[in-house]
Structure 1
Amino acid sequence: MKVLVIGSGGREHAIAWKISQNSDVEKIYCAPGNGGTFFENKCHNINLTRIDDLLNFARKENIDLTVVGPEAPLVEGIVDVFKKEGLRIFGPSKRAAQLEGSKIFSKNFMKKYNVKTAAYEVFEEEASAVEYLKECEYPIVIKADGLAAGKGVAICNSFEEAQGVISDFMIQDIFKGAGKRIVIEEYLDGVEASILSVTDGKTIIPFISAKDHKTIFEGNQGPNTGGMGVIAPNPYCTEEVYKDFQENIMIPTLKGIQEEKMDFTGIIFFGIMITKKGVYLLEYNVRMGDPETEALLPLMKSDLTQIIINACDNRLNEIQIEWFQGYSCCVIASSKGYPGKYKTGFEITGIEKTKGKVFIAGAAAESNRLTTSGGRVLAVTYVAEELNDAVKGAYEDLNNINFEGIYYRKDIGRL
């Protein structure tokens, strides 16, 4: 088999690494890939990002399976384009991808199909949004409608703070159009959890849970990032929580997908909040999370390639997903200054001394060495029978890795 993995982050490195373990897979083309996939077994980077170029490559090389990592190409409709040409691709259609691509679309979908979620209002004009803020109880949550690289959600503790966020989103347009329309949402107090699942539109199978750490600083302080670390399974996801999630969120979501006749073969990522009043859905993502993927795939006992093929062939009901016993801890090492301005081009050393798995995100291969090229540089994942041992192992590995300006949170899995 020849597989095409689209994307360039740590998530895509983890996907390619897991797919490479299937003995039938001969080559994995990573488009565009990164320094990690450059050195990974069976992987070959190709410098392609445009949908037309990817389509032409898949046809020319007789690619057997394409796996889409990031959300942007899904929202742009890459799945529709590939399927029209008879190519096997893992991901939702353009219409189904609106569940992530538009917060307004997804909240209206939740409401229509009785998916348990926070109360909300939609605004397209700054003036009416600011007026609404005067009547709100604080804290309040403001979400950009469109894609904002995981940074389009703000929790505001006062009217003044909320007014500033609305100005940033709608007037200053910091998300290049994604914040021109917004959702103002009830704040839910509780513990967040990530539950990825796979579906072929008929069957849906949830993965084990994960706990992301979004903010840049320890103690969940500072601005949001794309994610600074993950532990899995999430200790707060009890059997009771899973049952509540399945009954009030997962099953109604699948029903909605079916009733709306959405073409959805791929991953549904449920971002949930565990509260004293039960489990609520915060948001959908329509692809694997990052860095959740880097924490979950090392715990997956089953063959990811076979899971994906079964989903693409509408035979997901024929398999069960098995997991290794134990825990994983994934810690992100970032460039100094991230999520703001940062410098790149620094050599990364010490990866060969680690005992866990290092997934590369923002680093490039240059003359047989790795140099930093992004904000989130790499993810260190360590698996152990006990959570404390997984956390300890991840941080011991990180102590061996170095590049100028390296930064990572010291409290992942310790909160």
Structure 2
Amino acid sequence: METKNFLFCSLDAALIGDIAWQVREEGHNVRYYIEAESDKEIADGFVPKTDDWRGELDWADVIVFDDIWVGSDVGTGKLAEELRAEGHAVVGGTPNTDRLEEDRGYAMEILEDHGVNTMEHHEFTDFEAGISHVEANPAPYVIKPLGEVQNVKRLLYVGNEDDGSDVVDVLRAYKKAWGHRMKGFQLQRRVEGVEIAVCGFFNGEEFVEPINFNFEHKKLFPGNIGPSTGEMGTSMFWSGRNRLFEETFGKLEDWLANEGYVGSIDINCIVNEHGIYPLEFTPRFGYPTITLQEESFESSTGQFFYDLAHGNDPDLQVHEGYQVGVRVVLPPFPFDDEKTYDENSRNAAVVFQSESRDGVHIEDAKLVDGQWRVAGESGMPLVVTGKGETMQAAREQAYGRIDDIVIPNLYYRDDIGERWIQGDGDRLQAWGYLGPT
């Protein structure tokens, strides 16, 4: 592929630095814009930066938006739609696809309108109304905040009590602590089963094959306990249009084509022997999911995103086994505590005990005089990946690579991928979700 010009845009937090770096490593010209002042130094030394993304539009062959947020507002979908109308090639959503993540009720309406099975759910703007609903309909529920406060991941709560009493207690606590910011919340009936996400890349007309299937690990500690985080690690594999795909995105393909969506889109589900129950959309790249997906690309990353943005049918070649990605973090992640971050993490050196950097990807990191250092303020410097013919082999490679890294005070989950080995894979096979349709 001849050299192309790629403009990556982070209009809120800096998230896409690693992909920009990987595309540059392939020999393409890259410029990266970061809006958040606190994140400006992220990816310094790895990729060239720009202070004016709009001034680079005519230079760029491909424009990539990394999230749906423009500061505290949803808005990259509108920008992407406008730029495509002007003739630019853009990886990004639309106002309606942005809304799939921001408005959970709308997302469920889209699913139901297209014949996708959904679980019982109710939206509330009043805490007492939600509490009354649980008391009148006792059951375990999941609390999902609505609006911008949903980005505070620790506010998502999965109920444990059959009578919903713990959900009532949490709602009362949220009313006191978050009532001024939480514009509403959704209550979903909790369903037992295997949690799996279906993720596809859409080129404006159809999904690119193969399809990605991944397993999120959102809790901070091994065993899936502790506070919720954005994500502590992901395991995955790639496959064809199996039953999981056909009963979810297979029914939404025409809707996405009418929208002109371009990019990655993910739908997280609970599945069991009775059916598939979608939980939520991610109509953008997932993090660190996209890092692990890119690691499993065996064809050119730059060519893939160029073809995707131009409406071509990319020839995507991927690793045929299993992949594991582990987020390596530092204090005070996942919380905000400037003093703790300054004392323990800011500008910390990343030391490698060998010359290899295979499978090591940047998040909040920078390169200063040849030395990798921690950047930003979030305490998420690295994602370390592994691949293998089995999930266990992928785990061993990823954790072996982490053993080669030294950062004072680092921590990570050591159980990424274990759920598949301990039975999730067998259950999905037994229920008939992974074979061809």
Q: Which residue of structure 2 lines up, in the alignment, with residue 87 of structure 1?
A: 88
- The structural deviation recorded for 1:12 is 1.6
Q: Residues of 2 paired with 1:105 and 1:169: CA distance? A: 23
For the structure 1 residues 139 and 130, does the alpha-carbon distance in structure 2 shift closer, same or farther, using more than 3 Å as the test?
same
- The structural deviation recorded for 1:35 is 6.5
Alpha-carbon contact 2:43-2:366 (below 8 Å) kept: no
- The structural deviation recorded for 1:294 is 1.8
Alpha-carbon contact 1:10-1:359 (below 8 Å) kept: no
Q: Which residue of structure 1 lines up, in the alignment, with residue 311 of structure 2?
A: 314
Alpha-carbon contact 2:143-2:156 (below 8 Å) kept: yes
- The structural deviation recorded for 1:133 is 1.2
The 3-state SS of whatever aligns with 2:115 is coil
Does residue 315 of structure 2 align to residue 297 of structure 1?
no
Q: Which residue of structure 2 lines up, in the alignment, with residue 251 of structure 1?
A: 250
Does residue 219 of structure 2 align to residue 215 of structure 1?
yes
More divergent stretch after superposition (304-313 vs 327-336): 304-313
The 3-state SS of whatever aligns with 2:298 is coil
Alpha-carbon contact 1:10-1:379 (below 8 Å) kept: no
For residue 350 of structure 1, what is the amino acid of its counterpart? V
Q: Which residue of structure 1 lines up, in the alignment, with residue 363 of structure 2?
A: 361
The 3-state SS of whatever aligns with 1:163 is helix
- The structural deviation recorded for 1:223 is 1.3
- The structural deviation recorded for 1:118 is 1.6
- The structural deviation recorded for 1:189 is 1.0
Please list every run of 5 or more consecutive structure 2 residues that lacks an aligned counterpart in the other structure.
420-437
Alpha-carbon contact 1:13-1:37 (below 8 Å) kept: yes
Does residue 327 of structure 2 align to residue 328 of structure 1?
no
For the structure 1 residues 326 and 10, does the alpha-carbon distance in structure 2 shift closer, same or farther, using more than 3 Å as the test?
farther
Q: Which residue of structure 1 lines up, in the alignment, with residue 202 of structure 2?
A: 199
- The structural deviation recorded for 1:102 is 1.4
CA displacement, residues 16-39 of structure 1 (integer Å, 9 cap, x when unaligned): 24433555x2x1112228767334
Q: Residues of 2 paired with 1:150 and 1:306: CA distance? A: 35
- The structural deviation recorded for 1:245 is 1.8
For residue 31 of structure 1, what is the amino acid of its counterpart? Y
Question: What is the percentage of aligned positions where both structures have the same residue?
Answer: 19
Q: Which residue of structure 2 lines up, in the alignment, with residue 411 of structure 1?
A: 415
- 5 Å matches for 1:116-265? 116-147=117-148, 148-149=150-151, 151=153, 153-158=156-161, 159-167=164-172, 172-173=177-178, 177=181, 179-205=182-208, 207-233=211-237, 243-258=242-257, 261-265=258-262
Alpha-carbon contact 2:374-2:381 (below 8 Å) kept: no
The 3-state SS of whatever aligns with 2:287 is coil
For the structure 1 residues 9 and 395, does the alpha-carbon distance in structure 2 shift closer, same or farther, using more than 3 Å as the test?
farther
The 3-state SS of whatever aligns with 1:348 is coil
Q: Residues of 2 paired with 1:352 and 1:57: CA distance? A: 39
Q: Residues of 1 paired with 2:202 and 2:103: CA distance? A: 20
For residue 132 of structure 2, what is the amino acid of its counterpart? E
- The structural deviation recorded for 1:273 is 1.9
Alpha-carbon contact 1:93-1:263 (below 8 Å) kept: yes
Alpha-carbon contact 2:263-2:285 (below 8 Å) kept: no
Alpha-carbon contact 1:214-1:228 (below 8 Å) kept: yes
- The structural deviation recorded for 1:140 is 0.8
For residue 323 of structure 1, what is the amino acid of its counterpart? V
Q: Residues of 2 paired with 1:124 and 1:96: CA distance? A: 23
- The structural deviation recorded for 1:134 is 0.7
- The structural deviation recorded for 1:334 is 0.9
Q: Residues of 1 paired with 2:43 and 2:413: CA distance? A: 25
CA displacement, residues 85-126 of structure 1 (integer Å, 9 cap, x when unaligned): 432211111232111121121112112222222211111111
For residue 177 of structure 2, what is the amino acid of its counterpart? Q
The 3-state SS of whatever aligns with 1:314 is coil
- The structural deviation recorded for 1:83 is 3.0
Q: Which residue of structure 2 lines up, in the alignment, with residue 266 of structure 1?
A: 263
Q: Residues of 2 paired with 1:277 and 1:150: CA distance? A: 32
The 3-state SS of whatever aligns with 1:323 is coil
Q: Residues of 2 paired with 1:277 and 1:36: CA distance? A: 45
Q: Residues of 1 paired with 2:13 and 2:318: CA distance? A: 24
CA displacement, residues 171-206 of structure 1 (integer Å, 9 cap, x when unaligned): 5338x84x3121111112112122221113421135
Q: Residues of 1 paired with 2:287 and 2:253: CA distance? A: 23
For the structure 1 residues 84 and 247, does the alpha-carbon distance in structure 2 shift closer, same or farther, using more than 3 Å as the test?
closer
More divergent stretch after superposition (348-357 vs 380-389): 348-357
The 3-state SS of whatever aligns with 1:394 is helix
The 3-state SS of whatever aligns with 2:142 is strand
- The structural deviation recorded for 1:352 is 6.2
Alpha-carbon contact 1:269-1:285 (below 8 Å) kept: yes
Q: Residues of 2 paired with 1:352 and 1:66: CA distance? A: 37
- The structural deviation recorded for 1:380 is 0.8
The 3-state SS of whatever aligns with 1:37 is coil
Alpha-carbon contact 2:387-2:394 (below 8 Å) kept: yes
Q: Residues of 2 paired with 1:170 and 1:305: CA distance? A: 47
Alpha-carbon contact 1:34-1:364 (below 8 Å) kept: no
Q: Residues of 1 paired with 2:169 and 2:352: CA distance? A: 42
- The structural deviation recorded for 1:393 is 2.1
- 5 Å matches for 1:9-24? 12-20=16-24, 22=26
Alignment match of 1:388 (pick from 387, 392, 399) = 392
Q: Residues of 2 paired with 1:132 and 1:184: CA distance? A: 9
CA displacement, residues 284-313 of structure 1 (integer Å, 9 cap, x when unaligned): 111111111122211112333333333333
Q: Which residue of structure 2 lines up, in the alignment, with residue 112 of structure 1?
A: 113
For the structure 1 residues 173 and 82, does the alpha-carbon distance in structure 2 shift closer, same or farther, using more than 3 Å as the test?
farther
- The structural deviation recorded for 1:268 is 1.2
TM-score of the superposed pair, with normalisation by structure 1? 0.85
The 3-state SS of whatever aligns with 2:55 is helix
RMSD: 2.8
For residue 61 of structure 2, what is the amino acid of its counterpart? D
- The structural deviation recorded for 1:66 is 0.8
Q: Residues of 2 paired with 1:86 and 1:395: CA distance? A: 45
Q: Residues of 2 paired with 1:303 and 1:413: CA distance? A: 26
Alignment match of 1:398 (pick from 402, 411, 414) = 402
